[in-house]
């Protein structure tokens, strides 16, 4: 087959199929390993694991092939075919966090070979950066890091960290947005080269804040509205929720940026109904500057009415007892599709935890249901972390079976896997279990889970001032 025809064929394949094709003969394998074109134009390039914070454009053909092969192997391991299928850790890394409090608050991010985590005490929160390859750690103190979500975005040799900070000091009371750029070079790990602070006026009593990032824009999301900030252009717009048409309570569950239009996609709940809508964004008004701190004023405030929303799916009722937030809503790679996973209230007579996986297209504005495999299912007695979004680059819901010493998580369907599956991860080989003693020295497993990275199959545990990374 001529190389140009082979390239056309591979444009319609996913990463896993291209890697499998490379194993059929040496000539095809050499062609795929010698050119970035096939894998760079696969239909699910979001599955490719980053190499040293490099994007696909920055990788060499061999780096891209090796990263795709690693992702394909993990994809196969994360596909259970029997009810007793359980993944055992292939590698374990342990790091001592000396002098730190023995409480993690379930705030951590995994980004390529780096882990970002927050440790709290009575006076402040500390953001730590850990390089898994060298074991080096650096830290920076902040006031309280609000909510359960913050974001890290890789640059070439640095990382931008977006944080929602809550302060109670006399100089800056209430919420603020902080954008810090840290170097990731071994010699200067954790050096802050860029620092942006925006005080959010009128947001002193917000009960919960999460963040979504796209390019230079950041969205503050809370139950009562959305604040969109362009931190480079120093512009912002706050949209406060006002749904006078509903007599029952209305809250925003989650939101994210539309991939190609100047709008935000939001999931909100009206009483016992979930709806999905797009919110068009006008030009963001400029911020005011006060003593090197940017501030939003009345010019940056707006009202979000029901008629402003472009609804693109039918209403779905889940009952008024459904907990919030009980939905994840995220974009899949660079595609124009979004996922929503909703957990209905637990039924006492049920044997297993139930979930609904819905996927939406921003091209057709249609939603459809994706089947969830029943090969592996978490028992109803599992303790869930569904109130904590702890893995923004993967499925955030983890369900812990303390008796079996394992963790259940969802591997969402993609262009290769046509159905969503529960995956069971064993923690029995962890150093946290001591022979002859109670598991985790008497501590509940769900209090020791720090986070999970779907793309790289890594579970992070934290207890007794020790961080343990289990790679599956």
Residue 100 pLDDT:
54
Residue 39 pLDDT:
87
> Do residue 169 and residue 280 come from a single domain?
yes
> Do residue 145 and residue 280 come from a single domain?
yes
Quote the mean pLDDT of the chain: 77
pLDDT band at residue 286 under the 50/70/90 scheme: very high
> Do residue 121 and residue 67 come from a single domain?
no
Residue 101 pLDDT:
52
> Do residue 119 and residue 21 come from a single domain?
no
% of the chain beyond a pLDDT of 70: 76
pLDDT band at residue 323 under the 50/70/90 scheme: very low
Q: What is the pLDDT averaged over residues 111-119? A: 80
pLDDT band at residue 298 under the 50/70/90 scheme: confident
Q: What is the pLDDT averaged over residues 416-427? A: 88
> Is there a domain that residue 70 lies in?
yes
> Do residue 129 and residue 180 come from a single domain?
yes
Residue 276 pLDDT:
75
Rounded to 5°, the CA angle 320-225-231 comes to: 145
> Is there a domain that residue 83 lies in?
no
Structure tokens that stand for 134 in this block: 């060298």
> Is there a domain that residue 334 lies in?
no
Structure tokens that stand for 159 in this block: 């990382």
Q: Give the separation between CA 392 and CA 453, rounded to whole angstroms.
A: 8
Whether the per-residue pLDDT at 453 is higher than 70: the answer is yes
Whether the per-residue pLDDT at 390 is higher than 50: the answer is no
Residue 386 pLDDT:
43
Q: Give the separation between CA 165 and CA 281, rounded to whole angstroms.
A: 24
Q: What is the pLDDT averaged over residues 145-159? A: 76
> Is there a domain that residue 106 lies in?
no
> Do residue 36 and residue 131 come from a single domain?
no
Structure tokens that stand for 315 in this block: 């209403």
Domain edge (last residue) among 269, 288, 314: 314
Lowest-confidence segment of 54-63, 72-81, 402-411, 434-443 by average pLDDT: 434-443
135-to-92, 334, 452, 455, 463 alpha-carbon distances in Å:
13, 32, 19, 21, 18
> Is there a domain that residue 39 lies in?
yes
Residue 389 pLDDT:
39
Per the model's pLDDT, the better-predicted residue between 62 and 12 turns out to be 62
Q: Give the separation between CA 455 and CA 71, rounded to whole angstroms.
A: 8
Q: What is the pLDDT averaged over residues 296-320? A: 71
> Do residue 260 and residue 123 come from a single domain?
yes
> Do residue 204 and residue 279 come from a single domain?
yes
Whether the per-residue pLDDT at 106 is higher than 70: the answer is no
User: What total of structural domains would you count in the chain?
Assistant: 2
Domain edge (last residue) among 280, 314, 348: 314
Question: CB atoms < 10 A from the CB of 244, how many?
Answer: 8
Which of 245-254, 316-325, 421-430 ranks highest by mean pLDDT?
421-430
> Do residue 290 and residue 158 come from a single domain?
yes
Residue 442 pLDDT:
43
- Name the burial class of residue 356, with classes exposed (0-12), middle (13-18) and buried (19+) by CB atoms within 10 angstroms of its CB: middle
> Is there a domain that residue 96 lies in?
no
> Do residue 15 and residue 119 come from a single domain?
no
Quick one: CA torsion of 247, 251, 256, 259, rounded to 10 degrees? Answer: 0
Residue 256 pLDDT:
79
> Do residue 127 and residue 184 come from a single domain?
yes
Strands 406-411 and 151-154, bridge-based pairing:
unpaired
Domain that holds residue 160: 114-314
Residue whose entry in the numeric block shows the structure tokens 């089947």: 371
pLDDT band at residue 284 under the 50/70/90 scheme: very high
Residue 437 pLDDT:
43
Domain edge (last residue) among 299, 314, 329: 314
Strands 301-304 and 235-241, bridge-based pairing:
parallel
Residue 38 pLDDT:
84
Quick one: CA torsion of 46, 211, 148, 296, rounded to 10 degrees? Answer: 170
> Is there a domain that residue 403 lies in?
no
Residue 324 pLDDT:
43
Q: HEC profile for 147-172?
A: CCCCEEEECCCEEEEEEEEEEECCCC
Whether the per-residue pLDDT at 431 is higher than 70: the answer is no
Residue whose entry in the numeric block shows the structure tokens 């209905």: 344
> Do residue 211 and residue 281 come from a single domain?
yes
For residue 329, give every residue at least 6 positions away whose Cβ sits within 8 Å of its Cβ, in sequence order, or none: 253, 254, 255, 256, 265, 267, 276, 338, 339, 340
> Is there a domain that residue 203 lies in?
yes
């Amino acid at each position: 087959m001529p190389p140009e025809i082979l390239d056309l064929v591979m444009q319609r394949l996913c990463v896993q199929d291209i890697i499998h094709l490379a194993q059929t003969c040496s000539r095809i394998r050499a062609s795929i390993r010698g050119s970035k074109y096939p894998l760079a134009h696969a239909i699910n390039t979001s599955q490719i694991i980053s190499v040293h914070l490099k994007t696909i454009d920055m990788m060499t053909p061999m780096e891209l092939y090796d990263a795709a092969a690693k992702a394909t192997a993990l994809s196969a391991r994360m596909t259970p075919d029997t009810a007793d299928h359980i993944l055992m850790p292939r590698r374990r890394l342990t790091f001592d966090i000396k002098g730190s409090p023995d409480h993690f608050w379930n705030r951590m991010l995994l980004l390529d070979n780096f882990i970002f985590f927050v440790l709290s005490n009575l006076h402040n929160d500390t953001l730590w950066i850990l390089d898994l390859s060298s074991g080096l750690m650096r830290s920076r103190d902040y006031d309280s890091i609000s909510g359960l979500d913050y974001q890290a975005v890789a640059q070439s040799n640095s990382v931008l960290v977006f944080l929602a900070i809550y302060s109670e000091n006399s100089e800056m009371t209430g919420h603020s947005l902080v954008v810090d750029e840290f170097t990731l070079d071994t010699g200067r790990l954790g050096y802050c080269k860029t620092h942006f602070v925006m005080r959010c006026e009128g947001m002193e009593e917000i009960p919960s804040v999460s963040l979504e990032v796209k390019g230079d824009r950041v969205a503050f999301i809370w139950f009562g509205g959305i604040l969109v900030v362009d931190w480079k252009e120093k512009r912002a717009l706050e949209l406060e929720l006002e749904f006078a048409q509903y007599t029952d309570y209305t809250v925003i569950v989650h939101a994210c940026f539309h991939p190609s239009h100047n709008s935000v996609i939001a999931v909100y709940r009206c009483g016992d109904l979930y709806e999905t809508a797009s919110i068009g964004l006008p030009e963001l008004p400029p911020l005011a500057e006060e003593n090197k701190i940017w501030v939003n004023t009345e010019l940056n405030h707006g009202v979000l009415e029901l008629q402003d929303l472009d609804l693109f799916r039918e209403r779905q009722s889940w009952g008024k007892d459904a907990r919030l937030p009980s939905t994840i809503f995220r974009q899949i790679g660079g595609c124009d599709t979004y996922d929503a996973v909703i957990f209905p209230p637990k039924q006492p007579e049920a044997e297993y935890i139930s979930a609904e996986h819905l996927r939406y297209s921003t091209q057709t504005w249609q939603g459809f249901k994706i089947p969830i495999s029943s090969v592996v299912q978490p028992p109803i007695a599992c303790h869930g972390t569904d109130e904590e979004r702890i893995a923004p680059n993967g499925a955030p819901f983890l369900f812990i079976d303390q008796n079996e010493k394992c963790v259940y998580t969802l591997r969402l369907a993609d262009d290769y896997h046509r159905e969503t599956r529960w995956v069971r991860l064993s923690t029995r080989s962890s150093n946290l279990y001591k022979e002859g003693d109670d598991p985790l020295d008497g501590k509940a497993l769900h209090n020791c889970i720090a986070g999970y990275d779907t793309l790289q199959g890594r579970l992070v545990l934290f207890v007794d001032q020790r961080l343990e990374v289990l790679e599956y």
